[in-house]
Amino acid sequence: MAKKNATKSAPRRSLAKPRRGVPARPGNQTAAARKATRSRTGTEKKEQLLSSEVVYQGPLFRVLHDKLIEPDGTPSERDVIRHHGSVVMLAIDPGKQKAGGKDPWIVVERQYRHAALRYLWELPAGKLNAGEDPLEGAKRELEEETGYRAKKWRPLVEYYGSPGFLGESMKVFIAEDLVAGDAHPEEDEHIEFRLVRLSELLKMIEQGEVIDGKTLTSVLLYARLQGRKRKK
């Protein structure tokens, strides 16, 4: 009886996964990954802008068609919306509880947004004027939209809502010790605002009633930071 030829399989190579927070050895990285690692650990490479053409200029923003060399050396063409930036105000009223309490009142607005084709619940926000100091812009916008002025201000976070094509930085400020006044919004602004408990606002977020990006980012981060403080 003829013996069957046994096929020997090649021994399996064990690929150890890098530990969390420890970069993989350079020999196991792709060229792109090695460049990314160098970028994080050293000076970031810059793009090379070859040309920039204004294809639309409006009262709020302008659209540019840019030709450039990406930081990794790739030629590219991008359509980008340029904007002076915006400010977001997380205005907090502790009510009868002490400042820094677990469930403060938050000033929120409801207004129709044509781009979204629906009404949205949002934090007060507004655009900056060219060269305007962000904090001063936040104070101006809060009073214009809601009538409130705040005695205490502090920064919360800065982020880009859609950096793939929108060069709008959004700076979020926490406003505390509120003083009520008369709102004077712009002619095209039709805003309904109210005070909502933080716990209720979080429920609205969980139930999908709040879908505005700046409100999600600001409220969830604030709630997370408040939770950390209570644990200490």
Active site residues per annotation: 187
| Burial (CB count <10 Å: 0-12, 13-18, 19+), residue 146 | buried
List CB contacts of 84: < 8 A, sequence separation 6 or more. Answer: 127, 128, 129, 130, 132
HSE of 220, CA atoms in CB hemisphere, 13 A? 12
CA distance 138 to 125: 8
